[in-house]
Structures are given as C-alpha cells and as structure tokens.
Amino acid sequence: MLLCLPFAPFSGPWMVVLFLLGLFGSASSTDEDRDRKGPTADIPENSDAVFPEPWISDLFYRALADFNVRDIGSDACREQTRTYDVHLRNHTYWAVRMAESWSRYPHGILAGNKYHLGVYDECVDVHYPIIGQYCLSEIKLISLQTAGKLYENNRTQDPKSFDHAWRTVLKWVDYPDRIQRNIISLGICIPYSCTASDLQTSLQEQLDEVFLPERINASVKVDPIMCTISEDKYPYNAAYYVTRTFFQILILICCSATIYHLMILWYQENKIESGKYNFEKLAWTYSFVRWFSFIDSSKNLLEYDKNNELNVFNGLKSFIMLLILLGHRFMFIAGNPMSYPELIERVYQNGPVILLTSLNIVDSFFNMSGFFTYIIVYPIFLKSGSIWIKIISPIVYRIIRILPAYCAMMAITAHIVPHFGDGPLWPQKTWIEAENCKSYWWTNVLFINNLLDVKHECLLMSWYVACDVQLFAIGVIIVFVYAKNKKYGIGLLGIMMCVSLSVPFVITYVTKTDAIVRVHLPFLENPRSSLTHNISYRPGYMRVTPYLLGLVEAMIVEKMKEKNFKFSKITVFVGSIFIPVIVLWIQFYGAIFYVRDRPYYPLEQAFYSTVNHCTWSLYGMWMCVCNFTTGYGIITKWNNNRLVVPLGRLSYSVFLVNLTVMMMSQSSQRSPTYPSTKSLLDAWIYDTFKTYLMGLALYLVVEAPFGKLTRKLFGRGKNINTSNTAELAVSGKDIELPQSEQTTIPKIEHDSNTRIS
C-alpha cells in the first residue's frame, strides 16, 4: 500500500521490484497458521461447563431489552424517565425513536466489531417533550473464574474452527495488533436531564443482574464527554468571537484587495489603449493591494520557470506529501470505529511491511531542509557585514515567516473547529485537541513543544515545525563555520554527525524504548499514548542525522558541479537499483519488532534506531547527486512541471491542515467504517482534495499575504514576487536574497528570491 518511496519518482521503473520486495518482506503468518488447528484442538473436557450457556449477545439483550435510567439521579431525570416509559409503552412516536436508535443485541463481536453506535441522529433529533441525549458507554467483560490468571492466546480466527466461541472473549490476552474482543462500546439514548454518572450506575446495576450469575463481571464506564445532544455544547467564549471576527476581517480585506486589484488592472489596460486614465495616481495603493490580492498570490503560486533546477524538489515534496496523507488516512480509519476490523489485523501478519515501518519517511523533508540551508545561507556568509546579523537574521526571518499560518491553525483548532461538527466521537476527538491548544499554544510559538510531553502538544504534527526551526539554527552555525574555514567546518560537521548517530543509540538503549514507533492499534487510536513516540520520535536531537546528511549532500553537489563531474549511465542505473534494495532491506527488517512475545534486545533496538534515520536520507542523497550532476531525463521532468511545482509550494499549508481536516472527517462518522483497500483509497482521494483545498485557502488568506509583508519588513529585495522559488521542505518558508547576495553554487540556477524552509 505504501510501497511507494519518497524518491520513487526518480526510480519509477523499479516500482514492480519494490512491490515484490514488499511481498517477500511481509511479516510471517505463523500466528494465523498456528490458529488453524484440527476440530478438537485445545478443547478441554467438559469445556462447555466453564463458559456461560447463552451467547454474549443474548446476555446483553436480556439485560437491555427493557433498560432505562430509572430511579436514579436528579428529580428532573426521574421525571423525564417516567415520562419516557409511559410514552414508550403507548408507542408514542418520539419515545419509540429514542428506543430504537440504539442496539440491544451486539453483533460481530468475534470479528472485532467493538463499536455498536446505533443511529446517533435519530436519538439527538428528539427535542420534545424531552431532549434525546446520546451516550457512548464502554463495557469490559472479565471472567470471574479466570480473573488474575494468564491464559495462552490460543483463540482462533478460522471460521471453520471448532473451538469454543466464549474462549475468544473471556480468555482474551491483549496483543496490540488485535482489537479487544472483551470490550464493547455501546451507544445508548437517554433523557438529557440524566447525567453520564446516572447512566453508568444504572447500566452497571442492570448488567450485574444478568452477567454476575454467569460469573462474568461487566464493568461499565461512561465518560461525560461521550454524552452529546444536537445542540453545540462547546462554550462560545470571547476567544471564539475574536478569532472568528479576525478571520472574517482578513478574508474581507483579501476579497476587497482582489476586487481593487481587478480595477487597477482594468485601468492600466484602459490607459494603454486610450490614455484616458492616469494609473500613477493609484500607484501608492498598489503595494498594499498586491500584499492581500488573491490575484497576485495565485500568480506567485502558479508561476513556473522550467530552467530552475531546484524545482525538482517541489515534485519530491508533493509526492512525499501524498504518501504522508495516505498514511494519515490509514491511521484515522484504523484508529476509529471499524466494521470487520480483522482486515486491519491481517496487515500485522501479512504486510505490506513498508506500511508498518515507514514512519521515518518524514526524514526526507529534514534531508531536503539541510540541503537548502547550505544552498541559501552559504553565500550570505561570503559577503562582508556583521557576523551576528548574518547569523541571527536568517533564523529570525524564518521564524517570522513560519508563525502566521502556524498560529492561524492553532487558533482555528482551539476556537473554531469544535463548533464545526457533531457525532458520537466528535467531543472526544476535537474538544481535547482544542483544550491542548488553549493551554499550551505558547510552547509551539517558542518551538519547544517537541521537548514536552506529547499529551500536552497543540497540533499533533507540530513537533515537525519545532524540529525544523531547531535544526535550522544548528545548520546556520555549521555553514557559518564552513564558510569561514572549510577545514574547521568539515571537522565540526563530522563531530556533529558522530553525535547525531550516537544520540538515538544511547537514548534508545538507556530508556529501553522501541527502535521504531510501532503502528499498533493502541497507537492508531491515540498516538499520544505511545512512549516511543514521546521520547524517540518527536525530539529534534533524534532527527539531526538526516538534516546533516542534507548539508553533506549540498557540499558534494557543489564540488561535483565545480569539477563538472558526471556519473556514467551504468553507474546511475546500478546505483539506482542497489541503494534502494539496501534501504528497503533495512526498512523491512523493522518488521521483526512486530513479532509477538519477541524478547527485547537493547543493542539491536539501539542500533536499528540509529540506522533507521539514515535510510531515506541516503537514498535521497544518491538521487540528488545523480540528478544535479548526470540527470534522470524524463523522470526529472516528472518532478519539474507546471503541476507539481505549485503543489510543492502548498506543502507547508497542506501539512498544517491535513490532520485537522482528517480529524473532522472521521470524528463526525455515524457508523463504523469497513476497512477495505477501496474504502481507504476513496477516503484518501476525498480528504486529499479537501486538504489541498483548505491548504490553498490558508495559503491565499494567511501565508502569502503575511509572507509578502514580512519580506517588505525585512527589505528582502525590491520585488515582492515569490514566483519561481525552489522550496526547501514541508514548512515552505523562504529566505529571499537581495540581488547582491545571490547564491554562487556552480550551475545550480535559481532566482534571487529562492525560498527555503
């Protein structure tokens, strides 16, 4: 599924080879084979006496057939419950709608159907004489006979098995690659005056009457945030109105500037034709209009210079971004209610392995970031001027360019998104994210959020922005030393490279964390719960290696360009096969960490943690060197055309909005999703379109206008045009050099407004 690689556009002919490697690298299916046993395997004598005679669904129906929140809670709750009971017995329309909106007979439990959501809207659409309230409860089943004992997980998923069905539920042993069959999330419709605590107490009593005689403890939990009505209950505070008003005014300014820009263009054209209008009288407003005009921003976005060699990185960025969006979409499907989730469970047994081991694909962006840091910053240090200004100015400028769109997304997530949808899971998914942004936005602004606990991080993907700024500051210092003294600069780079390789090894070894973030089901449901994600995935000091390799890559390209060195075609051909094979072998080796009950080997985990951050970067280094010295012909053109260049320029905005867009799509779901390849691709295409549309809106309204204002403030050249830029990485922020400070790297052509991110 994700066999496509970050630099696959350079190696398109080898996609079939990579696919076959993916198949051979897939995790073994020994667990599944182990489960396929004979008709009487592992069935003890008189095993039926151990388990309840009725099936679990029958027990639930027996307990819930006449369930209601009775004789508990406030006076209003008791009164409305009695009213509901009376009208339900009389088959009054509104009461029956509430009653039939939720299921009393769970189905598909053996297949992993954990969520039984019912019909959410049928419940909350009841408004009179009482208001329908939908609550999603969690019920965990524990056998009182087996409590405290550990059983071998010898259950089966073979439909032809003769094993006892209750064994799957009551003798469940948790594995992170399996949906828990002993936990059921059941949606229930109750009167609004009753609380989550009332429902939990009443439901617990009702289930105990039925399950305890069968020696089963049905433990009930109802989180208040999981109880919702049709009305938006998230508070409309002053921050909401300020945020909404700000963006309304900003959009109004952009629309007005666009209309005025059209008028100016019309006057200008009319002047050329008849000389009737004096355009010079309007010139004083022209700069302001261009800052906010959609016309000017769109022109800058779409403008294309085919001779700019660095445009190839836009193709790479857009391609990698599509793969990241596919991976994120898979995460949201697998981490939310699914119908027949066995299909997802099989991925952990049968692959594709590349889907499970490629979270390090984002290292490709850090690699490109290091490359462009050298390309842009190095010429600045060759000029005369204050050393401190030359060091600090690029860093400050970069931060100011990043912040507007970044802060806009934090404000939208904190104050706007919670009001933009509903559904059984909406409060749990969006409200918590909003509260994180309200409380910890300042850590993002200071770019230290990746050093704090992930549970408090505003915007789950914001760790990348913090890493990018931190690494950029390091890169500027290294390039400065290299520009002043190449020997010292290479020495410093070598020392930093050794340190960057040692840090992941030491941290993984000392903390006993995993070498990679394993995308198990608990992680997909809540990425903030992963210890490895918190300690090893997000910090900038774990991502230094690919960034430094980008600096080395730029230095190598510079020297090879100076000497006009070119590889032979056979060298490019062999290298483009051999290097991807090595990279894929290393990636596929990570599948071994998904093997159940495998012992933890600290040295193995620590070593792989280090090597894992080099794979895509080494592959990218080879492809980059070949492209800028020898070329890839038609494949290079695939990454340098009028389509992919604008898509690459949108990468930063798309990166900022993608998780929010997907969170909103998935959190509003009313029923479990069938996790097939088709449903994944459909959701990916749909959300990719929405993500790029929202990214375009963020670019036109926030990123482009404030970017032009920042350039004006810093006096970055007379021309505010941002077209024909070669963008560095996902953050898309740029440092434009004045005409007197154009880069001097031989034969790598780009304009004086080259953008780096």
Helix (H) or strand (E) holding 642: none
Taking residue 306's Cβ as centre, other Cβ atoms within 10 Å add up to 12
pLDDT surpassing 50 at residue 19: no
pLDDT of residue 501: 96
How many contiguous H segments (helices) and E segments (strands) does the chain have?
Answer: 31, 5
pLDDT in tens, 146-189: 544 444 444 455 555 678 888 888 877 778 999 999 999 999 99
pLDDT surpassing 70 at residue 389: yes
pLDDT of residue 43: 39
pLDDT of residue 278: 53
pLDDT of residue 352: 85
pLDDT in tens, 227-247: 999 988 999 999 999 999 999
pLDDT in tens, 192-225: 999 999 999 999 999 999 999 999 999 999 999 9
pLDDT surpassing 80 at residue 326: yes
**What is the reported pTM?**
0.86
Q: How confident is the model over 48-75, as a mean pLDDT?
A: 87
Most trustworthy range by pLDDT among 38-42, 404-408, 557-561, 734-738: 404-408
Q: How confident is the model over 353-373, as a mean pLDDT?
A: 92
pLDDT surpassing 60 at residue 140: yes
CA distance 498 to 90: 78
CA distance 107 to 55: 11
Q: How confident is the model over 316-343, as a mean pLDDT?
A: 92
pLDDT surpassing 50 at residue 495: yes
pLDDT of residue 309: 83
Nearest to 391 by CA among 488, 479, 492, 466: 479
pLDDT surpassing 80 at residue 652: yes
pLDDT of residue 174: 79
The residue whose two tokens read 């993500």 is: 691
pLDDT surpassing 50 at residue 134: yes
* pLDDT > 90 in the chain, percent: 63
CA distance 279 to 286: 10
Q: How confident is the model over 127-138, as a mean pLDDT?
A: 95
pLDDT in tens, 580-608: 999 999 999 999 999 988 999 999 999 99
The pair of structure tokens assigned to 109 is 């439990």
The pair of structure tokens assigned to 313 is 């990185």
pLDDT in tens, 427-481: 999 999 999 999 999 999 999 999 998 888 999 999 999 999 999 999 999 999 9
